[in-house]
Amino acid sequence: MKKVVVLTGAGMSAESGINTFRDANGLWEGHDVMQVASPQGWYENQELVLDFYNQRRKQLFEVEPNKGHLLLADLETEFEVEIITQNVDNLHERAGSSKVVHLHGELLKVRSTMDESLVYDWEKDLITGDLCELGSQLRPHIVWFGESVPLLDIAAESTSKADILVIIGTSMQVYPAASLINYVQENTPIYFIDPKPAVSHHQFDNLTVIPEKAGTGVLKMVEMITK
């Protein structure tokens, strides 16, 4: 089976009702991103950060995978599919995708502030006083600005083995995730799905741009690669 590697960003989940990471003002749900998505923000106002992610976690239980998520899951009947997502929601898994790498962490997990290898499944609110087994405060299992991306090497290796690369709903401006496109082998077909595509045919060989939202764009891509 051919290997399809799919890189997904905020636009993938937008049709499910999850807001994209930053709006036109550079704010995330009304907050400066550095207040809620940086180690400094955590140290300065732990309660704000905990509340912010508690609200994001609650929202997950109010939304459903969209057509794009479901089509990617169905693609596993004909291809080996691996999804590498910048999203922290679990919509790919709920749609049925079996191989999902979360570059930026997961909302439904928390981890120790003392030992980052201590990661726990978590569906309720996380509050001050929730401790790991070592007795240290738990924090959201999210990769914040200024922190390393521990799964980047795994994602890069997977991308280098792709027979087909699909990019959905991401500006390809956020590094290091945006660098993954550079790992594909020469002449690998690339499909870029986004209403406002930020790449052009001049940048990459074998690039097909589909300027649509995730649902309709994924449908067109599937029709192209399953001919």
**104 given a catalytic annotation:** yes
3-state secondary structure 43-73: HHCHHHHHHHHHHHHHHHCCCCCCHHHHHHH
Question: 155 exposed, middle or buried (CB, 10 Å; 0-12, 13-18, 19+)?
Answer: buried
CA dist., res. 202 & res. 196, Å (int) = 16
Q: Residue 173: CB partners within 8 Å, gap ≥ 6? A: 198
Can the peptide bond before residue 176 be classed as cis, meaning omega within 30 degrees of 0? yes
CA dist., res. 171 & res. 199, Å (int) = 8
Handedness of CA 169, 58, 33, 181 (dihedral sign): negative
Provide the terminal-to-terminal Cα distance of the chain, rounded to the nearest Å: 15
Q: Which of 92, 104, 141, 202 is catalytic?
A: 104
Token pair in block for residue 201: 């045919």
Torsion of CA 45, 46, 52, 58, to 10 degrees: -160
Tokens 């993938």 sit on residue: 12
Instruction: Tell me which residues are annotated as active site.
Output: 104
